[in-house]
């Protein structure tokens, strides 16, 4: 049974709407990536060095990242040799299989899930540059937790950017959760202290903390994040339980550079990749995972409140190759 068919069978027994969100959200990347792979397969009758060279180009153009591409193609060559694959059509399924393997390599299942504390306060710290969709992501995540019946609070720790506090308050009103804030220009660590005390007194389940996103002066950013983390850790031992870095998928390799900077500044435990539906270069998911060894925990697949989805490598690959899955089914039926 091909890997495509295994995915199809797996998802037919699971929540169809989530699978469809991945499929719809990856339309641009699929049109860019899968169509090129399709074209490549139709032009080559046999799997040779030239075939792999062109495949490398396609993967690099999809922003999979040079190092990841080299690793992936090397693995493909070994697998093609091991299975004695001659027909280029049979390579497509192996590509999808290897993409999932690369994403999941060296990780246990727990690292992909949020570190939520049972019957205790969970503190989630959000970091990322301005304009990547950080506040929107916080709002959507608050909505997700609230719809699960959790008591959620937001902390307006971005006291630097004009309008950041108000923007978070708009989301708080929309979702129906309170925002702990101070005046613009206040010390973010002081805001976090107040927010943690409020969360404790209200017996909140989740406290989501916003932070400033300036990168112009990395030293200031690091000091501020370190201070914020110290205050949170002092008040809630073991916190923050997650440090989520928000990246804009449409910025491609630039997102990778931002990720490296923030990884130096703070212990990033997971990535939230926004606007994945707006890019034709969705391969950046694999580059981030493979080159930085940080799991992508959520992806933004649209504008709606429930379009922030937990990342799933198999659903992602299914979304990339959905058209080929259908073609395979149609060929079998005929």
Residue list, annotated binding site for GTP: 128-135, 210-214, 274-277
Alpha carbon distances (Å) from 307 to 2, 98, 290, 301, 315: 29, 27, 25, 5, 14
Both structure tokens of 159? 């006291």
Cβ–Cβ < 8 Å for 97, 313: no
Rounded to whole angstroms, the Cα distance separating 113 from 103 reads 14
DSSP 276: G
Rounded to whole angstroms, the Cα distance separating 5 from 11 reads 10
Rounded to whole angstroms, the Cα distance separating 267 from 300 reads 22
Strands (E), 73-180: 122-127, 152-155, 178-180
Which residues does the annotation place in the binding site? 128-135, 210-214, 274-277
Cα 271–Cα 277–Cα 279 angle in degrees, nearest 5: 90
Rounded to whole angstroms, the Cα distance separating 91 from 4 reads 12
């Amino acid at each position: 049974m091909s890997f495509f068919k295994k995915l199809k069978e797996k998802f037919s027994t699971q929540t169809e709407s989530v699978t469809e969100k991945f499929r719809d959200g990856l339309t641009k990347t699929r049109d860019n990536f899968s169509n090129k792979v399709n074209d490549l397969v139709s032009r080559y009758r046999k799997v040779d060095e030239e075939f792999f060279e062109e495949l490398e180009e396609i993967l690099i153009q999809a922003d999979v990242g040079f190092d990841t591409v080299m690793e992936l193609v090397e693995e493909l060559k070994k697998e093609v040799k091991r299975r004695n694959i001659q027909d280029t059509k049979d390579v497509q399924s192996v590509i999808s299989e290897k993409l999932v393997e690369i994403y999941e390599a060296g990780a246990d299942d727990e690292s992909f899930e949020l570190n939520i504390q049972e019957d205790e306060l969970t503190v989630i710290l959000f970091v990322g540059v301005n304009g990547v969709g950080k506040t929107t992501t916080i709002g959507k995540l608050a909505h997700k937790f609230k719809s699960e019946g959790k008591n959620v609070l937001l902390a307006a720790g971005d006291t630097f950017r004009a309008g950041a506090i108000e923007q978070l308050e708009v989301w708080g009103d929309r979702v129906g959760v309170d925002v702990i804030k101070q005046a613009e220009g206040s010390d973010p660590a002081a805001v976090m202290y107040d927010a943690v005390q409020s969360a404790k007194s209200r017996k909140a389940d989740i406290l989501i903390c916003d932070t400033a996103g300036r990168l112009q002066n990395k030293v200031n950013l690091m000091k501020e994040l370190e201070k914020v983390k110290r205050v949170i850790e002092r008040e809630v031992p073991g916190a923050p339980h997650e440090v989520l870095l928000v990246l804009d998928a449409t910025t491609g390799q630039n997102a990778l550079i931002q990720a490296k900077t923030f990884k130096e500044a703070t212990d990033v435990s997971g990535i939230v990749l926004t606007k994945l539906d707006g890019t034709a270069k969705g391969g950046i998911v694999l580059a981030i995972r493979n080159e930085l060894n940080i799991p992508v925990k959520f992806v933004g697949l649209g504008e709606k409140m429930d379009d922030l989805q937990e990342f799933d490598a198999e659903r992602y690959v299914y979304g990339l190759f959905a058209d080929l899955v259908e073609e395979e089914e149609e060929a079998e039926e005929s």
